[in-house]
Each structure stands twice: as C-alpha cells, then as structure tokens.
C-alpha cells in the first residue's frame, strides 16, 4: 500500500524555499497540520542543523547516458540554498526526513570525505577519471565556510594530480581559486556556475540562500581570469518564470568569460511536484496555471517524464523552442565550442614512491 502524507504547514518563512515539510514517500504514517489560531501573522525562523556523518565510501558512480560524468562526490546531504526545484530533495526521504524544509534545514556533512578519497586513490586497481564535485547538492553551500570539506577534497586532488570538475551557484568557490588555478594550468580542473535568472526578486524566492545573480557573474569572471575553463549552466529553465531570460543570461556570462553553456528544463520528480506547486501559488499565483500547463506540455502531458533521453530537455513544441533559442544564442556568443576533456595521465597513486616525488615537486 503506498504511503500517504500531507503537507505540514509552518506559516510564513524567512529565507527558505519550501513552504511545507511533508513526510517522505517511505514514511508509514501521515502527518497533518492543524491551525489553532495562535500562529497567525507570526514569521517562522528555522535554524539549520548540520550533523557530522562518517561516510563508508565517497565516490559515487552512475551510468546515466544523459549526464556528462560517471564519477562524483557530494560532501553534503541536504542543501541550505533552499532551491525549491532541487532534484536532490527526494533523497532526504531515504533517511526518514522530509524533502521539504528538512532538506534545507537538516544537513549532513561527510567529515571524513578527504580521507576516504585518498584511500580510494591508493587502491591498486583505481583508474583515474574526472570526478565531479557537486553533482547533487551544492559543494559551496553556506556550511562549507566552516566545514571546509570541499577545500580538503581539492587539496587531495591537487596532491595526486587528479582531474576534477565542479558545479555550484555560490561565490564561495573563489575562496579556492588558488588551487583551481594551479590545477587548471595543468589541464586538471574546470568549473560550471549555475545562473538561473538575472532578476534578483526571482532569485530571492527561488534560491533564497544562494548567491545573488551578479555575484555568480563575478565568480565566472574571476575564474575565467584565473585560467579556469568555466561553463554557465542555465538550470533549470522554468517556463513563464525565467525562460524569457535565456539570451540575456548567456550574454552576460559570455561577457564575463564563460566558454561554454548548458541547460536543463525544470524537473519535478516525486515530492518536488507538490513542493513546487505550493511555492508557485505562494509567489506567482497569477501565472501558476500557465506554468504547470507548459511543464506538462514538455513532459508528454505529465508533471514529469523520467526517461533518460527526455528528462533533461523535455519534448514537444515548447521544449524544441527552448532548444532552438539556446543553440542560436550559443552560436552567436561563441558558447558552443567543444568541451575539452581533462588530463587523466598525470595521476600518481599515493602509494607509489614516484607519486610522492611528483607531489613534492
């Protein structure tokens, strides 16, 4: 019998993306909010709780044909940025937490990530391939300022000359520009910055604790100036919310020095569809029906189509219009250059004497 759950409303929220804390799809019991009249007009402030997690392994692998990497590391579970559309939200249901507000307030930090990575590199059968940092949750979310797990992972990457790619929407990446520049000089690093909108108002409600749009543009400029190949990701494209900005976003990022671009249309798997609808009616009630109609038009009449060949870009007339506009803008702005692979030949196994000598040089 499928699990039933209902939204737990928490009233007006300060700096959070989700509007409720519905139980995960694996929970046995449903919870339902009850308004007793005492909370009317109050602003709810939810503290962020970060729990240290001792991970058993750190490199995740995938064989998805529509993802550009097959190895990734995610130092954190959950993400304080609070992006309402985040496709990682349903993962919180696996640990008995809500994909709603729990996802952005109940975080887990893999404090032994760097040690596990070094152990993985030391295994005799390890074959170096580019590792993506941040394929699920953001590696530079606010808690990284104090935990510095991403910085420790980059230290390991540099020590053993391992190729690494990063994706983030935080300007905190510039803290590590020293390591990234040295890696990039050897052909071992590249970065992607997610720029969803140039409109500060939309960014504030859609990605409440992520960097402001102009800060992300500044990050692209600084990375490019430091010699780090940088891609702009316009993700997600939400019809009738930010799709009109495609060309403007690409133009600003090209001016800042981005060398390539990619996009993903809005994805609404599992619990995200209900969280997104709540958010939509709260912030854009005038166009909520139109947004969902266009989403379904790109998903074969459904809220979401998980098929490999369709989930990232969608199908149908509207999806094709977005694809054509994006491709045309990229050609005009010279953002359609082929992405060169990173160099895997420089890697040295930590257990080898040659590796020690190389790292010390």
Q: Could you tell me the CA-to-CA distances from 226 to 1, 144, 174, 220, 260 in Å, in that order?
A: 55, 22, 10, 10, 16
pLDDT above 70 covers what percent of the chain? 84
What pLDDT is recorded for position 19? Answer: 56
Res 20 pLDDT > 80 = no
pLDDT at res. 135: 83
| Structure letter (DSSP) for residue 218 | H
pLDDT tens digit sequence for 239-277? 999 999 999 999 999 999 999 999 999 999 988 999 999
The β-bridge relationship of strands 76-77 and 71-73 is unpaired
Residue 80 lies in a domain: yes
Contact 342, 165 (CB under 8 A): yes
104-136 pLDDT, tens per residue? Answer: 999 999 999 999 999 999 998 899 999 999 988
8 vs 159, which has greater pLDDT? 159
Tell me what the pLDDT averaged over the chain comes to.
87
283 half-sphere exposure, CB direction, 13 A CA radius: 24
Alpha-helical runs (H) found in the chain:
101-105, 113-122, 144-147, 149-159, 177-185, 200-206, 213-225, 246-256, 272-283, 288-297, 317-332, 353-360
C-alpha span between 7 and 149 (Å, rounded): 33
pTM of the entire structure? 0.87
**pLDDT by residue (tens digit) across 33-62?**
545 454 544 445 678 899 999 999 999 888
Q: Using CA atoms, how far apart are residues 5 and 271, in angstroms rounded to an integer?
A: 10
- Using a 10 angstrom Cβ sphere, with 0-12 exposed, 13-18 middle and 19 or more buried, the burial of residue 17 is buried
Look at residue 299 and tell me whether its pLDDT is greater than 60.
Answer: yes
pLDDT at 31 over 80: no
Kindly write down the DSSP assignment for every residue of 68-102, as one continuous string: S-SEEE-SEES-TT--TT-TTGGGGGGGT--TTHH
Q: Is residue 352 part of a domain?
A: no
Confirm whether 167 is domain-assigned: yes
- Whether 192 maps to a domain, the answer reads yes
Is the residue at 17 inside a domain? Answer: no
Give per-residue pLDDT as tens, 167-181. 999 999 999 999 999
Q: What is the pLDDT of residue 98?
A: 87
Query: What phi and psi, each to the nearest 5 degrees, are found at residue 191?
Result: -135, 155
In this predicted structure, what is the pLDDT of residue 233?
97
* Torsional sign, CA 221, 149, 234, 332: positive
Q: What is the largest CA-CA distance in the chain?
A: 70
Contacts of residue 290, defined as CB under 8 A and 6 or more positions apart, other chains included, come to 239, 240
| pLDDT value of position 290 | 98
pLDDT of residue 107: 96
Q: What is the domain range of residue 205? A: 49-343
Predicted confidence at residue 2, as pLDDT, reads: 31
Structurally, how many domains does the chain consist of?
1
Q: Which of 43-52, 80-89, 92-101, 226-235 has the lowest mean pLDDT?
A: 43-52
Question: Is 246 within the bounds of a domain?
Answer: yes
How large a percentage of the chain has pLDDT more than 90? Answer: 71
Query: Does residue 11 lie in a domain region?
Result: no
Q: What is the pLDDT of residue 109?
A: 97
> Is 2 a domain residue?
no
CATH number at residue 197: 3.80.30.30
């Amino acid at each position: 019998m499928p699990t039933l759950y209902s939204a737990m409303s928490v009233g007006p929220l300060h700096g959070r993306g989700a509007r409720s804390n519905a139980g995960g799809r694996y929970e046995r019991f449903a919870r339902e909010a009850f308004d007793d009249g005492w909370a009317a007009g109050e602003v709810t402030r939810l503290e962020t709780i970060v729990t240290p997690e001792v991970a058993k392994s750190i490199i995740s692998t995938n064989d998805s044909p529509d993802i550009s990497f097959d190895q990734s590391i995610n130092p954190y579970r959950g993400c304080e940025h609070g992006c309402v559309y985040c496709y990682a939200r349903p993962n919180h249901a696996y640990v008995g937490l809500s994909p709603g507000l729990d996802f952005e307030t109940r975080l887990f930090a893999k404090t032994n990530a760097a040690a596990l990575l070094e152990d993985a590199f030391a295994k005799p059968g390890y074959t170096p391939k580019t590792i993506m940092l941040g394929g699920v949750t953001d590696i530079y979310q606010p808690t990284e300022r104090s935990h510095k797990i991403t910085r420790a992972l980059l230290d390991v990457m540099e020590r053993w000359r391992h190729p690494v790619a990063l994706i983030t929407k935080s300007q905190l990446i510039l803290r590590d520009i020293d390591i990234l520049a040295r890696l990039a000089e050897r052909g071992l690093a590249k970065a992607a910055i997610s720029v969803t909108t140039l409109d500060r108002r939309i960014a504030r409600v859609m990605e409440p604790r992520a960097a402001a749009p102009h800060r992300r543009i500044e990050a692209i400029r600084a990375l490019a100036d430091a010699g780090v190949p940088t891609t702009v990701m316009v993700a997600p494209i939400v019809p009738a919310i930010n799709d009109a900005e495609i060309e403007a976003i690409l133009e600003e990022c090209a001016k800042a020095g981005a060398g390539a671009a990619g996009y993903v249309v809005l994805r609404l798997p599992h619990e995200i569809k209900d969280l997104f609808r709540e958010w939509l009616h709260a912030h854009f009630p005038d166009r909520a029906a139109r947004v969902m109609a266009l989403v379904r038009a790109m998903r074969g009449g459904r809220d979401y189509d998980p098929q490999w060949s369709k989930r990232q870009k969608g199908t149908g007339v509207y999806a094709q219009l977005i694809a054509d506009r994006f491709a045309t803008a990229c050609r005009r702005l010279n953002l359609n250059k082929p992405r060169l692979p990173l160099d895997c030949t420089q890697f040295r196994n930590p257990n080898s004497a040659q590796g020690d000598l190389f790292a010390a040089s």
